[in-house]
Structure 1
Amino acid sequence: MARGRRLMARDGVRPSYDPAGPDQALRAALQDLRTGRWMAMRALLADTTQWWRWTQRTQILAAAAAGTDVVRAWLAEEPGNVHAAVMHARVLVERALRARRERHRRTHELWIEAWDAAQSATATAPRDPVPWVCLLALAQLDPEQRWEEHRAAAPEPMLPPGPWGLLAEAGRRDPDNREAHHRMLQFLYVRGGSGRLAEAAGYAQWAAGQAPPGAAAHLLPLYVRVERYRRDSGHDAALDLHWVGDEAAREARRGLHSWFENTQRAERSLSDLNHLAHALWGSLQFSDASRVFEAIGPYFTPPPWMYRTPDRERAVEIFVQARDRCRAAADG
């Protein structure tokens, strides 16, 4: 009971994971979708005009819809609806990626089905970055780079071949598309079968170096650092050295100054906020981390906190302890 009271002490509620976060319109559409209806999703997407928000909302809706036939029913009812076609591609990509994680015997079949839908969506919605993000997401199903589009030459000699053409197509439609960069990282994590973190780190530094103020690409090095930490957990006796070194501290400060201080609250993804707060806390920059925790509010995301403990149920407690430590420092 005492621990529960501590968790609720300042914000009044225990932090929890909510994919919609503070996006109330998205939350309403998700609730409607979970009851088998698609009209709220249709209305929400029709009102979504910014590419960053469109990319984020379609990804979250697809994750919720992947285990249902809601989007298929919508497309059957309105076969000419462009948004329905893009969501159909989104859902099929999500299913293919899940099948790969679960080593399902239909993975290849689902992959080809998803690729066909995404490829069709590039023609149906030629100005939309999401169909290209879908194709980029599917690249991680080809770690051996057997498909030609997955082994294009990189724009920088020190970077490996990969699905650079797909990344460029997404970028032409939405420069610095957040999800596109993360899909590229996911490809590099598995390239060649097990991936090379040095290549992923090189890409993250390159993308951050190219990014304008306010772009989420400035946080990519923090994600690579978390991935390295995750892989080392259990056999690295000095795990905290991942965070307290000069390079880690510089990466966290760059995320704060180049991204956080140049964005509006609504533009910030919950995952990015949690990774930045985690990095600032881990590098002992408590007062700055407190500002980011305030922006997070009650919305917690399991990564990166869950990698700090073998018991994932304790991840929220790690989050609360870090938040309280940083608030105490900020309060003097």
Structure 2
Amino acid sequence: MSFLRALLSSARPARRSPEPGSGLPTDDDLLLDAPDERIAPALVAAAQGTYAPASALLAATRERAEWENRDRYTLRLAAFAHHRQDWLTDWLLAAPGDPDALLVKAELEVRRALESPSPADRLRPAGPLIDAAAAGSPCDPVPWRIALDHARGALAAHDTFEALWGQAVMRSSHHYGCHVAALKYLAAQGSTHRECFDFAEQAAEDALPGSLIQALPVRAAFALLPATTPLSALSPSSPSSAPPSPSSPSSSAAQLTARIDKAADLAIALSAEYEAGDPWAAEVRNLLAYVLVSRERWTEALEQFRLIGPYATSFPWASPASGAPTDDPLGRFLELRYAAQSRAASGAAPEAGRTKPVGVRRWTPGRSRSDGHYA
């Protein structure tokens, strides 16, 4: 049995506000990576140097087995600690064996290592932290998701990754974060696009109704698109044309294109199961909008931008693969939203022009959406 089976730019017009009645929020109403109402107070407190709300939040997710929320909140808290760690240091000093504090610390160290020039060397100290977090919460799949990311950065062999994957799915067989980690590992190991699609499609087929795992194939599509459809060619001023084919036989290229569209269709159906403006589905909808724009499915892309509402996310717009400058994901989001609106409305390319990138308007603890803060 194979390892795979074992796992089971920008010329643009001056930006305009959306047309009244379009259902799209204005540019000023958008906020990048806005937290939900449960974690927002914890982030505000962390900004003030206090860890108690974060501790209470993660303890609640552990006690209630809210593994998807636990993973998402751990990622957000670790991302905040990446820039300001005093509150996490105080938490670990006060409760060195706290599995929630250890979980955030483990995620933080893996994140830092993966962003460094030599991740394998920097990942070694994170191993004991992951082990301690797993031991402190034996039913929790999140330490094992972190272990999967750790294995990817450490270039772990397939059998090592399989063992970790087995531990993860034993605790939560439908955990979205673990499936994303597995897909990233496959891609990092040099698996073909077809192998990544095979894994993602099988996982989506086995997923529970409404599970974000059904968006896994569109993540596989995202990894393929930069090689086939550079978004820099899809600004509103560019003439519409069929995307270039991969450097493979035409029949194979057609098969991959069909899988991309199938993945998008599945993600559209998943998106329809969530209310418009639901922050839980925001990242999946942002990713789906990217894929639909790259496939020039303008009307469907515009509908996803409407469903996203004010919840723009850094991924995928900050990814180098998207052709976006990493310091302006919101600008890229707005550029492609305008492209979808313009093409869907008339099919005609607007007059070319260029504007300076807008500042990235991030949610900052203690700031309201309307205060005009830009990071």
Number of the residue aligned with 1:28: 41
Query: Conserved in 2, the CA contact under 8 Å of 1:19 and 1:60?
Result: no
2:111 equivalent to 1:115: no
Give the CA deviation at 1:255.
1.5
Please say if residues 18 and 300 of structure 1, whose CA atoms lie closer than 8 Å, have aligned partners that are also in contact: yes
> Cα deviations across residues 160-217 of structure 1 (Å, max 9, x unaligned)?
xx623322322232232111111112211221xx554333222222222222321222
1:155 equivalent in structure 2: none
Could you tell me how far 1:326 is from its partner in structure 2?
8.0
| Residue 227 in structure 1 maps to residue 223 in structure 2 | yes
1:293 maps onto 2:308 in alignment: no
**Counterpart-to-counterpart distance in 1, 2:102 and 2:88:** 9
Residue 102 (structure 2) aligns with: 85
CA separation in 2, counterparts of 1:322 and 1:12? 15
- 1:211, 1:178 → 2: CA distance? 9
The answer to whether the 8 Å contact 1:75/1:85 transfers is yes
RMSD: 3.4
Query: For the structure 1 residues 260 and 6, does the alpha-carbon distance in structure 2 shift closer, same or farther, using more than 3 Å as the test?
Result: closer
Q: What is the Cα deviation at residue 249 of structure 1?
A: 2.3
Q: Structure 1 residue 315: deviation in Å?
A: 0.9
CA separation of 1:319/1:298 partners in 2, compared to 1, >3 Å: closer, same or farther?
farther
Task: Indicate yes or no: 2:341 matched with 1:324.
Answer: yes
Deviations 1:78-108 (A, max 9, x none): 2343322222222222222222xxx14xx44
Offset from partner CA, 1:113-168 (integer Å, 9 cap, x none): 1111101221111011111111011011233x3xxxx422xxxxxxxxx6233223
Q: What residue number does 1:52 align with? A: 68
One of 33, 39, 54 as aligned partner of 1:19: 33
Higher helix share: 1
Shift, 1:24, TM fit = 2.5
Q: What per-residue deviation string (whole Å, max 9, x for no partner) do you get for residues 63-92 of structure 1?
A: 111342432320211234332222222222
2:112 matches 1:95: yes
Q: Aligned with 1:248: secondary structure?
A: helix
**Alignment check: 8 A CA contact 2:305 2:337 kept:** no
Structure 2 Cα separation of the partners of residues 93 and 8 of structure 1:
44
The amino acid that maps onto 1:169 is Q
Structure with more contact order per residue of length (Cα contacts < 8 Å, sep ≥ 6)? 2
Cα distance in structure 2, aligned partners of 1:165 and 1:327:
48
**Which segment drifts farther, 225-234 or 126-135?**
225-234
Paired residues of 1:289 and 1:326 also in contact (CA < 8 A): no
Q: Distance in 2 between matches of 1:77 and 1:42?
A: 11
Q: Which moved more, 1:129-138 or 1:228-237?
A: 228-237
Q: Distance in 1 between matches of 2:284 and 2:149?
A: 19
Alignment partner of 1:24: what SS? coil
Question: Against the structure 1 CA distance between its residues 229 and 248, is the aligned structure 2 distance closer, same or farther, given a 3 Å change threshold?
Answer: closer
Q: What's 1:158 paired with?
A: none
> Contact between 1:176 and 1:217, CA under 8 Å: does it hold in 2?
yes
Matches within 5 A, 1:1-332: 3-6=14-17, 10-14=24-28, 16=30, 18-21=32-35, 23-48=36-61, 49=64, 50-67=66-83, 68-99=85-116, 103-104=117-118, 107-143=119-155, 145=156, 150-152=157-159, 163-191=161-189, 194-231=190-227, 239=243, 245-257=257-269, 259-263=270-274, 266=278, 268-283=280-295, 285-305=297-317, 307-309=321-323, 311=325, 313=328, 314-325=331-342, 328=345
The CA deviation at 1:275 is: 1.4
1:250, 1:308 → 2: CA distance?
20
SS of the residue 1:11 aligns to: coil
With normalisation by structure 1, the TM-score equals 0.77
8 Å CA contact retained: 2:274, 2:281: no
Percent of aligned positions that are identical: 23
Normalising by structure 2, we get a TM-score of 0.69
Q: How many corresponding residue pairs?
A: 305
Distance change >3 Å, CA 317–CA 309, structure 1 → 2: farther
* 1:272 maps to amino acid: V
CA distance in 1, matches of 2:68, 2:343: 30
Please give the alpha-carbon distance, in whole angstroms, between the structure 1 residues aligned to 2:268 and 2:42: 32
Matches of 1:164 and 1:301, distance apart in 2: 31
